[in-house]
Structure 1
Amino acid sequence: MVFKRRDRRSIWQILQETVYPRGGWARAASYISHRVRRLPDPPARIARGIAAGIFVSFSPFFGLHLPLAAIVALVLRGNMLAALLSTFIGNPLTFPLIAAISLQSGELIMGAETPVPLPQVLGAFSRAAGQLWEDLGALVTGGPTHWDQLAIFFEGVFLPYLVGGLVPGVVFGLLAYFLSHPVIAAYQKRRARALYGVPSKRQVKAVAPGRIR
């Protein structure tokens, strides 16, 4: 195959590059931006896809951001690949900020009496995931379950995060749409002129009747 990798990555390398991409986050961001701009789709569809990916990044459904972004992009009639690439906004570097904005917004909206300290959020999600697997396994083996612990997590962390993430998700999604649409449109016009020799408005005016000397 032409595009097959020469060096096969191990599971550890894949996990390591998920946390810290090869070449750094700046290079990864530049690559994703380049890929999004070159997508063969109208600017509006690409921009809607970007908005979908960013919106989903503010949700607490960790591990499901990619399929959720694809679903939201499908509903919005946006570019699905742009949505998948845009979930990159939710990465280990931005997670603390996204979690703080979403969780604190949700606690404010819901009037939480005992807000959860931000450093404890990641641990709460990790423990809840482990508890969920244990309870599901207990349903098969007949062992004891502890759904009450998951209920506490749902009410104290997950639900405020979910509710609070809707507001900044919509705000930043709309902001991304209105900022990316003109940038992508301008890029596609420049690329079309470079590839197919389509003259720009300035070039057309320069050779218009009465301007030729």
Structure 2
Amino acid sequence: MVFKRRDRRPIWRIVFEFFWPRGGWGRAAQYVKHRLRRLPDSPEKIARGIFAGVFTTFTPFFGMHFVIAGTLAFILRGNILAALLGTFFGNPLTYLPIGVISMKTGYFLLGRHLQHDDVERSLAGKFLDAGADLQHNFFAVFTEADMDWHRLELFYDEVFFPYMVGGIIPGIIAGLVCYYVSVPLIRAYQHRRKGVLKAKLAALKKKAHLKADDPSKGD
């Protein structure tokens, strides 16, 4: 096939590049920033999209962040592509602090007490426990094994629900910060880019006039 990779990457390299992409996260952040600045829309609309993307990273709906961010941007009349790019605020380097902040906020709002040593277990072990329950119950449909929802219920009660509730406030705060920082930066970039394009256009017009006045200069 024409678009098939010639060099098949080993599994370890795929996993490594998921946590540390080629060029590092600094280069990835520069790419996202460059793409956001060049979006053909108003600064406010782009910033609303960024807000939607950043806010979505504070929700526990992993695997659906693109869909949620795009939907939220549509509701807010923001730029949908900016919302998709904004979800890169959540990445393997930031998901742990985002999860811890959301969990602690959720436990506080729900009037519960979160043990310090339970955070790591909640975000790692209980995710695996819930996945194991889903896998076991899936195979139980085709076998005589009994379904067991205990670990999945524990995951929902101790992780998912507190995470969902607790992510709202820090998600809004982080989204608003990114919104108000993005608007002047995008506006300044767009104005500078318009100035550069006008200068290039003026130079081309001047060159065309000189060529029309003296055809020998165009040779």
Other-structure match for 1:41: 41
Q: TM (normalized to structure 2)? A: 0.81
How big is the alpha-carbon RMSD for the aligned residues of Structure 1 and Structure 2? 2.4
Would the alpha carbon gap of residues 8 and 73 (structure 1) be closer, same or farther in structure 2, given more than 3 Å must change? farther
Other-structure match for 2:174: 172
State which drifts further: 127-136 or 24-33: 127-136
Q: Which amino acid aligns with 1:124?
A: K
Q: CA deviation at 1:183?
A: 0.7
Q: Distance in 1 between matches of 2:5 and 2:154?
A: 48
Is structure 2 residue 80 aligned with structure 1 residue 80? yes
Q: Distance in 1 between matches of 2:7 and 2:72?
A: 33
Structure 1 runs of 4+ aligned residues shifted over 6 Å read none
Q: Which amino acid aligns with 2:52?
A: A
User: Any unmatched runs of 5+ in structure 1?
Assistant: 199-213
Q: Distance in 2 between matches of 1:114 and 1:101?
A: 12
Equivalent positions of 1:121-136 (< 5 A) are: 121-136=123-138
C-alpha contact (below 8 Å) 1:107/1:115 kept by paired residues: no
User: Any unmatched runs of 5+ in structure 2?
Assistant: 201-219
Is structure 2 residue 53 aligned with structure 1 residue 53? yes
Which of the pair has more CA radius of gyration? Answer: 2
Equivalent positions of 1:7-156 (< 5 A) are: 10=9, 12=11, 13-115=13-115, 117-120=118-121, 121-141=123-143, 143-156=145-158
C-alpha contact (below 8 Å) 2:69/2:84 kept by paired residues: yes
Q: TM (normalized to structure 1)? A: 0.83
Q: Secondary structure at the match of 1:17?
A: helix
Is structure 2 residue 198 aligned with structure 1 residue 196? yes
Q: Which amino acid aligns with 1:149?
A: R
Would the alpha carbon gap of residues 184 and 27 (structure 1) be closer, same or farther in structure 2, given more than 3 Å must change? same
